[in-house]
Chains A and B, each alone.
Chain A
Amino acid sequence: MSFLQPIALLGIALAATPILIHLLNLMRHRRESWAAMMFLIKAKENSSRMSKIRRWLTLLFRTLAICALSILLSRPMASDESSLINFSNQKPEVLMLVIDRSSSMQKKFLGSSKTLLRRGLEEFEQFSKSWPESKLVVIETVFSETVILDEIETLFSREMEDFFGPTDSGGNLPFTINKGLNWLEDAEIGHVQILVISDQQESNWKIRENEQLIRNIKDKIDSKEGLWKLRFLKLESAEINNFSLVCKTYREETDKFHPTLLITGNQKNTQSLAVKINVNGKLSNLKCRFFPPSTTWTPAISLSDQPPKGWIKISLPEDSFSKDNDYFFTYGNQEMLKVGIACKDEHTRKFITAVCNLDPERIFLNETFSLKSKKLKENDLLMIQGFSSPEEDSQILKFIKAGGRVVNFPDFDGNNKPQTFQNWNAIESASKNDFFQISEWNRNQGIFANTANGRELALPYLKILQRKIPKEGETLAFYKDGESFFRRKTIGQGVVYSFSTLPNRDWSNLGEGFVLVPLLIRIFDESSESPALKLLECGESASLEYNELTPITGNPNQKPSVNAGIYKELGKFFAFNRKTSESQDEMLNQEEMKKTMSSNHILWSEARANSLSFERAEIWNLFLIIMLLFLLGEGLLGLPAANFSFGAKRQ
């Protein structure tokens, strides 16, 4: 409970008045000559304990009535705390707002025409009214930098839209919250109220990835023993008819551009969508047949009569949430991928060479390459198999750290000597009838992901006779016995892909190509994605680096970190898109989170549809009733006993 006129609380001191009057009355009593002393003496002797209790109750009721009067004059406001009065909650030094600025916060708030972000800011404005003297600090998910506000109105000013306005980015809330807590710790702030406004989209929490971070947040809040309070306010979006557009992949040809698009919609009917294609400002329409709930569509966009380098914008028809209707591409920036092969196993070398030759327009095979040449940096991707000297290992490591990629196959001669960038187990052999089989892999993303039309890679058909398990890196595919078939390890700017077997008949049927070919093509794709070429997303670290790019719209406020669109620099185009994960509708399981972050000082609530959640009603009328009840009680206690008639009635 807080008060709009706290000065009136001084009136509580007046509650002592009845007691003082009582004492003063005893001291300054009146004198009365009296005849019927015989009754008086007996009455005083027989005065019961109940009478004394009644007197003290009367005094108490008068005191409480004055207290209630003082409180009602101070205009009390209802508290959302569990307890009616929480004095520890009175004056936080800092009110911190953590803003989820992800793109999904642009959706409309339930039953309102305002966006979730706007509504969240208004909630914080209301929240801050309870402690007008506290400092206001804001941290948001794009830059994760704290901003100190002089006044709450700054949140809504146009000048601050770069910091608090809408974005097309994603977000990592645990990271941002943790950063905010670190700032508070560094600033040695004692008493803090932290409000996190978010739609609690799961993709902005990355719970598995941030498990440790979430635990840290809980521990930090708990360690402050109530001085820091963290409130999560969920803003629920309205159920609206919406289509969203994301790109899974794309393929460039000389005069054609083939994006693989995933159109998702919450409409239940099959319908034809008029999709606008804008190539370098030239508009055309294509029809797309949409089958609910999602459709993968690969249009062929003609680039004939277009400049060699340019941009493409694909737009779905306008709907109630148009932020996810557009997708931007650039073309003509693609360069050939330089691949160097250093394989001791002849079968492996032949196989890889054959795969590289499948797309000679895209892949340049550096056939003269040798590990000893020390010119590794001429390549984008290395295919390595077999023993390498420590000197060569060191060269390769440097290459990886500088952003190079390596596909690593095991050595077949039983040499268990570790590489500087990978460690291996000993070679294992399966019996003739009992092959090593692959049972599990990441079907959703990465190089093992299902195809655009939902087909799985044929990994269960692999028959592996010998294997040598790489020990380091993230496992993307597992054998039945839980061992790693394939690992991906990031070192510096680069990546090492390690297979556990060879495309050699003595080792496996990997050489039949039904798994290895798509895997290598995907690795080529992944390796081709230099910042200039790949599908950049707003809010990612790359977008922050490219913040100086000029938007083709000419709007100076448009930045790649927050706004999707086409940007240009020195005649080169860059396409930044809305974060793909923002189109996922999966929400955080609040019950699970409450368990994970179970703490008395972490509160979870949902924004009310009709009124602001922190809008606190004045409750003076409650205290008026309480005061009247006390006065009534006092009056009843002070009622004279029933009179008896004596003699003639007064005229």
Chain B
Amino acid sequence: MPSRQSNFLEYIDQRAIARFGGNPMLSQFPMEGSVSGHHKSNHKGSSVEFAEYREYTPGEDPKRMDWRVLARTDRYFLKEFEAETNLRSYHLLDCSASMKFGKPETKLEFAKKLIGTLSYAYLNQGDAVGLSLLLSSKNEDIPARRNPSQLQDILYSLGHAEARGMDQIVDRLHEVAESVKSRAQLIVYSDFLDDPKRIADVVHHMRDRKHEVVLFHIMDRQEVEFIFDRPTRFIDLEGGSSILTEPSIIRDEYLKQMRSHLEEIKKICAETQSSHYETITDSPIDEALREFSFERTQV
């Protein structure tokens, strides 16, 4: 794909980059990269980082045998080194109409800033970054690459992404899980307004494919607090159906439902060793990424 000039540099939050740019953000699981990098690889062999001694099995390459050990002990041992490779990070953006909600900026716009900032950070540390826009009908993908022009492509794509149509995120994520062949980091940006069981299925699917799964759960403050002072007709952003109600009456029940949904998703993430980050659209980007960055720089 030819590189394109983008005017969407505002998606890169400079404050966040300044805060987290010093240390590389490492994957929490071994990755399969094409070149050497900062991340643990699932392969072991000759490299610079010693890993372990292992007894030789006939048929293996005798070049990796440790002759000094053989001379001292008369036994055949292989010297194993841990490989370090680069990371392929896929940013999966939910573009359903529900992401259009939010003040002062929509959930979609907020997610774009997270993606732009993380993309910059990963590309800057030599990792490959890809983007998938999860639309209701299909996915629009930018494959993971590590060349610097990839940032321009991602920002351009983000700049033109719009939230519309029904929420089909679960189906789209299943497709992504299948389409990404080797181990990768899959970062999903969504409000996850779907059946928790279906979400659990797709997270399990992605984990089964050995991907590191990260969920950025993006909500607007009004959705979280649900404070309205008068009767309101709520119109569904995805379907057009509406409900007329007195918010103050159903607020408790609404919050209870929301809490329950959130607990379910947290539980799924805990079961699958996936990461779940709650973010609210009025938070600064560096704050929203603080926990994510902290966990990955301390590995």
**Provided the pairs A35-B101, A644-B255, A644-B259 are in contact, do residues A44 and B245 lie with their beta carbons within 8 angstroms?**
yes
For residue A54, which residues in chain B have a CB less than 8 angstroms away from its CB? Answer: 249
Residue of B at shortest CB range from A641?
B252
Residue of A nearest to B239 (CB): A37
Does B251 lie within 8 Å of A29, measured CB to CB?
A: no
Give the distance to chain B from A56, nearest Cβ to Cβ, in Å: 10
Does B48 belong to the interface (CB within 8 Å)?
no
**Residue on A nearest B257 in the bound complex, by CB:** A39
Cβ-defined contact, B230 with A30, below 8 A: yes
Out of A35, A36, A51, A647, name the residue touching B249 (CB < 8 Å): A51
For A6, the chain B residues whose CB sits under 8 A away are none
Question: Min CB distance, A296 to chain B, in Å?
Answer: 90
Contact status B191-A36, CB under 8 Å = yes
Which of chain B's residues have a CB closer than 8 A to the CB of A617?
A: none
Inter-subunit contact B278/A44 (CB<8 Å):
no
| Contact residues, A630-651 vs B (CB, 8 A) | 638, 640-641, 643-644, 646-651
Residues of A1-60 whose CB lies within 8 A of B = 25-26, 29-44, 46-48, 51-52, 54-55
Give the residues in chain B near A47, CB-CB below 8 Å: 249-250, 253
Contact A29 B244 (CB under 8 A): yes
Is the Cβ of B252 less than 8 Å from the Cβ of A29?
no
Report the minimum CB–CB distance from A22 to chain B (whole Å).
Answer: 9
Number of interface residues of A (CB under 8 A): 36
Given A51-B252, A55-B248, the answer on whether A32 and B258 have CB atoms closer than 8 Å is no
Q: How far is the CA of A646 from the CA of B255 in the complex (A)?
A: 11
With a CB–CB cut-off of 8 A, which chain A residues contact B17? Answer: none
Q: Which residues of A contact B250 (CB under 8 A)?
A: 40, 43-44, 47, 51
Q: Among A31, A51, A640, point to the contact of B233 (Cβ < 8 A).
A: A31
Chain B positions 238-286 with a Cβ under 8 Å from a chain A Cβ: 238-239, 241, 243-246, 248-259, 261-262, 277-280, 282-284
User: CA–CA, A651 to B284, complex, Å?
Assistant: 8
Asked if B225 is at the interface of the complex by the 8 Å CB criterion, the answer is yes
A-side contacts of B259, CB under 8 Å:
644
* A46 pairs with B243, CB closer than 8 A: no
Determine which of B234, B251, B279 lies in contact with A648 in the assembled complex, contact meaning CB atoms within 8 Å: B279
Taking CB atoms and an 8 Å cut-off, the chain A residues in 54-92 that contact chain B are 54-55
Q: Which residues of A contact B191 (CB under 8 A)?
A: 35-36
Interface size on B, residues (CB 8 A): 56
Please tell me if the beta carbons of B290 and A640 are within 8 angstroms of each other in the complex: no
Closest CB in chain A relative to B247 CB, distance in Å: 9
B278→A34 contact, CB < 8 A: no
Task: Select the residue from A38, A39, A52, A650 with max chain B CB neighbours within 10 A.
Answer: A39
Knowing A26-B231, A36-B223, A650-B221, say if A641 contacts B248 (CB, 8 Å). Answer: no
Task: Say whether B295 faces chain A, with CB atoms less than 8 Å apart.
Answer: no
Give chain A nearest CB distance to B293 CB in angstroms: 13
Q: How far is the CA of A638 from the CA of B229 in the complex (A)?
A: 10
| B residues in contact with A30, CB < 8 Å | 228, 230-233
Q: Is B224 an interface residue (CB 8 A)?
A: yes
Q: How many Å lie between the Cα of A29 and that of B243 in the bound state?
A: 11
Are A646 and B280 touching (Cβ within 8 A)?
Answer: yes
Q: Quick one: which of B97, B230, B259 has the most chain A CB within 10 A? A: B230
Bound complex: CA of A34 vs CA of B102, how far in Å? Answer: 9
B133 sits at the interface (CB 8 A): no
Q: What residues of A have a CB within 8 angstroms of the CB of B180 in the complex?
A: none
Q: CA of A25 to CA of B219 in the docked complex: distance in angstroms? A: 28
A332 to B217, CA, bound (A): 125
- Docked Cα-Cα span, A25 to B233, in Å, equals 11
A643: nearest residue on chain B (CB-CB)? B225
Residues of B within 8 A of A44 (CB): 243, 245, 250, 253
Q: Determine if B201 is an interface residue (Cβ-Cβ < 8 Å).
A: no
Is B9 part of the contact surface with A, judged by Cβ < 8 Å? no
Q: In the bound complex, do residue A29 and residue B287 qualify as a contact, i.e. CB atoms below 8 Å apart?
A: no
CB atoms of A33 and B255 under 8 A apart? no
Give Cα A644–Cα B283 distance, bound, in whole angstroms: 16
Complex CA gap A37/B251 in Å reads 13
- Contact (A40, B288) CB under 8 Å given A47-B249, A641-B252, A644-B259: no
Residues of A within 8 A of B239 (CB): 37
Closest B residue, CB atoms, query A37: B236
Contact B243 A650 (CB under 8 A): no
Residues of B near A40 (CB, < 8 A) are 234, 243, 245, 250, 254
Contact A648 B230 (CB under 8 A): no
Interface centre among A32, A35, A55 (most CB of B within 10 A): A35
Residues of B within 8 A of A36 (CB): 98, 101, 191, 193, 219, 223, 258
CA distance A51 to B245 in the complex (A): 13
Verify if B237 is at the interface (C-beta below 8 Å from A).
Answer: yes
B227 interface residue, CB < 8 Å from A? yes
Confirm or deny: B235 has a beta carbon within 8 angstroms of a beta carbon on chain A. Answer: yes
Q: Flag if A35 contacts B230 (CB, 8 Å).
A: no
Indicate whether A37 sits within 8 Å of B234 (C-beta atoms), given known contacts A42-B257, A48-B253, A640-B251.
yes
Residues on the A chain within 8 Å of B244, using CB: 29
Give Cα A34 to B217, complex, Å: 17
**Least CB separation from B253: chain A residue:** A43
Question: How many Å lie between the Cα of A39 and that of B220 in the bound state?
Answer: 14
Distance, CA A247 to CA B220, complexed state (A): 104
Q: Select A647's contact among B237, B256, B283, beta carbons within 8 Å.
A: B283
Considering the complex, give the chain B residue whose CB is closest to the CB of A50.
B252
Is the beta-carbon distance between A648 and B193 smaller than 8 angstroms? no
Instruction: From known contacts A44-B243, A640-B227, infer whether A34 and B249 are also in contact, taking CB-CB under 8 Å.
Output: no
Q: A33 vs B235: C-alpha distance in the bound complex, in angstroms?
A: 5
Chain B nearest Cβ from A401, distance in angstroms:
93
CA distance A37 to B223 in the complex (A): 10
> How long is the Cα–Cα vector from A640 to B245 in the complex, in angstroms?
17
Assembled-state Cα–Cα distance A641/B247 (Å) = 12
Which residues of the partner chain B approach A646 to less than 8 Å between Cβ atoms?
A: 219, 224, 262, 278, 280
Whether A647 pairs with B245 at a CB distance below 8 angstroms is no
Kindly identify which residue among A33, A648, A649 contacts B101, using a CB–CB cutoff of 8 Å: A33
Give min CB distance, A88 to chain B, whole Å: 42
Q: A36–B251 Cα gap in the complex (Å)? A: 13
Pair A43/B279 contact, Cβ less than 8 Å: no
Contacts of B227 in A (CB 8 A): 640
The answer for the CA separation of A471 and B261 in the assembled complex, in Å, is 109
| A 231-280 contacts with B by CB, 8 A | none
Cβ contact of B237, chosen from A29, A34, A46, cutoff 8 A = A34
Indicate whether A35 sits within 8 Å of B98 (C-beta atoms), given known contacts A29-B244, A646-B280, A651-B284. yes
- A641 & B237 in contact (Cβ 8 Å cutoff): no
Docked CA distance A51–B101 (Å): 28
Q: Are A39 and B284 in contact (CB under 8 A)?
A: no
A29 to chain B: closest residue by CB:
B231
Q: Which residues on the A side are within 8 Å of B100 (C-beta)?
A: 33, 35
Other A-B contacts than A37-B236, A646-B280, A647-B280, 20 sampled, CB-CB below 8 A, are: A29-B231, A30-B228, A33-B101, A33-B235, A34-B101, A36-B191, A38-B261, A42-B257, A43-B253, A44-B243, A44-B250, A55-B248, A644-B255, A646-B219, A646-B224, A646-B262, A647-B219, A647-B278, A650-B280, A650-B283
Q: List 20 A-B contacts (CB under 8 A).
A: A29-B230, A32-B233, A33-B234, A34-B234, A35-B99, A36-B191, A37-B236, A38-B257, A43-B251, A44-B243, A46-B253, A47-B250, A52-B249, A55-B246, A640-B227, A646-B262, A647-B278, A647-B288, A648-B283, A650-B280
Give A contacts to B, CB under 8 Å: 25-26, 29-44, 46-48, 51-52, 54-55, 638, 640-641, 643-644, 646-651
The 7 A-B pairs of least Cβ separation, nearest first, read A647-B278, A35-B101, A35-B98, A43-B253, A43-B254, A648-B283, A34-B234
